[in-house]
Amino acid sequence: MSHSKTALVTGGTRGIGYGIAEELASAGYDLVLGYRRNQERAQDTKGNLEKTYKTRAFVVGGGAEEEATVDAYFSCIDENFGGKLTALVHNAGSFWGGLPPSRPDANGSWFQGWEAYEYYQGMYPKCFIRLVEKAVTRMEDERGYIVGVSSPGCSNSGGPHLNHVMPGISKSSMEYLVRHYAKQLAPRRITCNVIIPEFTKTETEGLLGLGFVELHTRKHEKLTTMVSKLLKSSPR
């Protein structure tokens, strides 16, 4: 059994993802962090983590909805960590077109069209399947951890947000996949969990409007600590 620990965090160079990356680095993990396009910020993140926590960090750019990006994550793992992975956190997310809709269309519908639908399907359930199917071939039995980060209102644990219907239906599919993989991987004692945080103050969620976000604000520390605990918990 390997004693080194490696984690892949999508969307890991800013906001919630960066907080999770810091928690993992402080716990002795080496890191592969996904980012969409801001290479300068990604390199700054890498440098800060390596300097502060004396860890190894690699950053991989590209949209998580693209299969080629997922392939690049695992090429990095194979090349730099001998194809070994301990933890996977799927945190990446963004709004199709850059912004959530502020109002329904003339017919009162919040549906943004099939192009948007396919974008979110690629970002959440399709990406999650790609990630997990590749990750589990690189995880040791009794030493693998998978976490998906969802949003409020994507399951019956909370009411729906009308302008969140497009990402919401995709994240709810991811939540089902988490339960599926938890059962499938139970014989190997690899854990699979989902975090459903309340809205937090991040660069992206700030676009929803300050009043809406602040009503549900929770500090990043609570979420990152919860993820950290899930990545240390013993399979049952």
pTM for this prediction: 0.88
Q: CB-side exposure of 177: number of CA atoms within 13 Å?
A: 23
d(Cα 98, Cα 122) in Å, to the nearest integer? 16
The CATH architecture one would assign to domain 6-230 is 3-Layer(aba) Sandwich (3.40)
Over range 120-142, report the average pLDDT: 98
Q: Say what the pLDDT of residue 214 is.
A: 40
pLDDT > 90: percent of the chain:
70
List the chain domain ranges: 6-230
Confidence of residue 13 (pLDDT cuts 50, 70, 90): very high
- Whether the CB-CB separation of 63 and 36 falls below 8 Å is answered with yes
Residues 55-74 have pLDDT tens digits of 999 999 999 999 999 999 99
Q: What are phi and psi of 225, to 5 degrees?
A: -65, -40
